Structure 1
């Protein structure tokens, strides 16, 4: 069996083969489909090929996988941690990949199927459009702030009234032309964003896992689809802690010898976009009654709001694992609120409006129905507070006892 390590770049890849303990340089391979197909024809059916996770790794796998026994994708960050070297060349990097795989120490990356890959591309495309729109709006605001102009009296600067006020300000001709250009580009990207969200919503309508995550108050279609795109298959994670670590929400720990363990900030290693989505969802979740809000208030009193929001994001990852693994909805969900989310999902997907008809989302517009659902969920929040108050009393008593022992 040959083990072939590929150190890939944008224009070429360096290939090194390991066979019977002997390393042999194969040479450079052009990173085009024609060159890779020609290289694939020289491989044996028993070969194992090792590549690093890069932007073009999926296309390389598509070409090489049918010709060899296995193609493994390595985590480049962990590979560099394991095999640090002062002297680094493409040949050495390719050799390290083959050597780690042969020794069984290669940190591999899970490669999703076509459906999860398409979902990840859609989520990435939407994120790029959102960031681009924010950038355009910030540029327009900076143009207005530069001449020390007045504040906009309207809530939405980029709404109809806000735009009319913006264009009525006294600005140089070039600055006014720049604002008009940025507004036009922002409108164009808004239409592109609607198309991308429509495609995402069409897939989400048929995805049971996405709708299951949406039963959690504060999680909408964007967060649910983004989280599911990052997870892929939930059976990849043996426990909730594995999923939390995959999102980079576990606190860092430092300990040496008999000294106490020191816990620091979260690791931020893993799917960063999914982590950001969970943190944003946490801010919305804590606005709703329930145990998550009670937990947020308890942590907020000790560590502040931002640390508490990250802690809630970690808490959201734990029920996510249980819900997807057990096939159950969120225990403290609100049916009327969920019906409104589903109706919004249908409209985003392009389903026709039902004007004048009372659908399942109508219940969420009734104050008494919303009040009844919130009261039911608030019971769980009160139960959590009673439980944690007992923890605090117990902890304070232990602390007081310890202090008395020290005084003695």
Structure 2
């Protein structure tokens, strides 16, 4: 029986009904055959007993034959025949039975009806008993599986306690689950602690850098007056490096805040077009210097998000696209929505991502092939964290025309 048929009551009833009927028919064949054999031997023995008694009576007194026959008891004759019957009497008995119309399989139908009914009742009783036992066992197994599942879900939420051990078929699985949960909990605690320490150190370093950078920025402003052309060029380069350090410090601080989950996002209704425009404004100089065109279009769609932080994520994506798009190239931005999510797609004009870089693009401090010299590998990691903490996702892909693309989704 197939696994899916074991819980089907109709199939179970039909199966045991057929089995009981077949067993009843086979048993009826055996009983009818044995009955005919035994009955033919008994009849043959009775005929032999009657013949021997008649011969003895005639020898004793021929004159009293009629009186003796009247006194003879048929019960005594049949009882003696039953005790003395054997295979040697079978042929005579069969001949007599055939003469009077008694055939070997004459009672097969009667026996089949009775014995099949009895066998069906017994088979159905056994079958339903086994079915109920199996259902009870299956229910216990389902309860055990449900208990282990709830334990795993509680462990995922960090609420798992000690398991109450039971000796059954799931004992080894229970032990393995408990050990795995304890090891994962220990590993998670160590990872969380290490992560918190790293985030704190990053924040500390960023704060330590912020003060001297601010001082350097003020000094460059003071030095700008009365400088030669060569001095002004040096000051411009110094100012550019200071701005780069300021951006790096700001990115490190933002990353540390996001990873420590201390930021409270102020959700509001934001239209996709306004979001792109707001993120593009700080990058206008970069776009103009490289003469990059932005092709942005789509239907009017809205998302529930924190405008400031979401603009920060979009800014990092646009900046990455601009850095990898050659001068005079084009960046495409498209947005749309469906019943599940709102989606914004970014496509640069470059050569696409290297395959080995795709799995690591959103790792912090990762710098792939073709990364800018001044890139710290923070922007994409920051964008992904912002998206994920607002019920969104960020993906990277190579488009069909071999350009690099980002897919930003916000789920409803």
TM-score of the superposed pair, with normalisation by structure 1: 0.22
TM-score of the superposed pair, with normalisation by structure 2: 0.22
Whichever of the two has the greater Rg, that structure is 2
